[in-house]
Amino acid sequence: EKAFFIKFIQVLDRLGFKYKVRESGDIVIYSWLLEDLVKNMCGSGSRNKKLPDFWPKLSLEQLAILLKAYFAGDGGVECNSVNFTTASKILASDLQYALFRYDIWARCHKRFKRATNSDHKGDFYYMLSVSGQEDLIKFRKEIGFFLDRKNLSLSKIVGREFNTNVDLIPGAGNVILKIRAKYGLFQKDIA
C-alpha cells in the first residue's frame, strides 16, 4: 500500500494536480478537469452515481481496480461483512452485477441513515453487503481494498465459522421449525 501511495502522489505531482491527504489516508484531488471527467462517466450528485458505461467490457483485473476505488471510499468491513453504502440505486445495482462477475453475491438493503458529522436530517440509502465465507474469500482474493487497514479488517473475518443464518428465506422459519421438530433435526442438519 505504501509503495502504491508514493507512486500515486508522484503521478499527481507530475501532472500538477493539487491534492490533500486526510488523516484517514484518503486523498482529495482538486481538479475541475478530473471532476468533469468523473461526473461525465460516473454521474453527478450522490443519487445519480453509477459505474462508467464501459465497465462490462473491462477484464476481471481491470474491473477489480475500479471496484477497489469505489470500496476504498464508501466501503468497509463491519462485523462479519464487507459493506458499501450509496444514495444511488443505480450504483448499488451496478456494483451487484459487477461483483457477480466474480461469482460474489451481494445483498442490497434500503436503510435510513443519519449523518453523524453534520446537521443532515438523514435519508434512505442502499447498503450492499458481502457476507458468507465463500463470498468474503472471493472478495479478498479477487478484489480487496487499496488500504491496508481495510484489508487487515477483511482478513480478520475471513476464515470464521459459517453463519447458518445468512441465507434465511423470509416467512419459511415456522414451517422449517415444525419439520425439524417432527423429525428431531437441528438447524445445522438442515443447512
- The three cell numbers locating residue 120: 443532515
Using CA atoms, how far apart are residues 147 and 43, in angstroms rounded to an integer?
A: 25
Q: Please tell me the predicted confidence (pLDDT) of residue 158.
A: 92
Q: Please tell me the predicted confidence (pLDDT) of residue 79.
A: 86
Read off the pLDDT of residues 52-73 as tens digits, 9 standing for 90 and up: 999 999 999 999 999 998 888 7
Sign of CA dihedral 100, 105, 111, 116: negative
Residue pair 157/136 in contact (Cβ under 8 Å)? The answer is yes
Residue pair 176/164 in contact (Cβ under 8 Å)? The answer is no
Residue that the C-alpha cell 462517466 belongs to:
41
pTM of the model: 0.69
Compute CA 60 distance to the chain's CA centroid, rounded to the nearest angstrom. 16
Q: Which residues pair with 76 in a beta bridge?
A: 83
The pLDDT averaged over each successive group of 10 residues in the chain (191 residues) is 82 90 82 79 88 95 92 87 94 96 95 78 91 95 89 89 53 70 74 61
Read off the pLDDT of residues 156-174 as tens digits, 9 standing for 90 and up: 999 876 554 555 555 566 7
Q: Please tell me the predicted confidence (pLDDT) of residue 32.
A: 80
> What is the number of alpha carbons within 13 Å of residue 103 lying toward its C-beta?
5
Q: Please tell me the predicted confidence (pLDDT) of residue 188.
A: 67
Q: Please tell me the predicted confidence (pLDDT) of residue 173.
A: 66
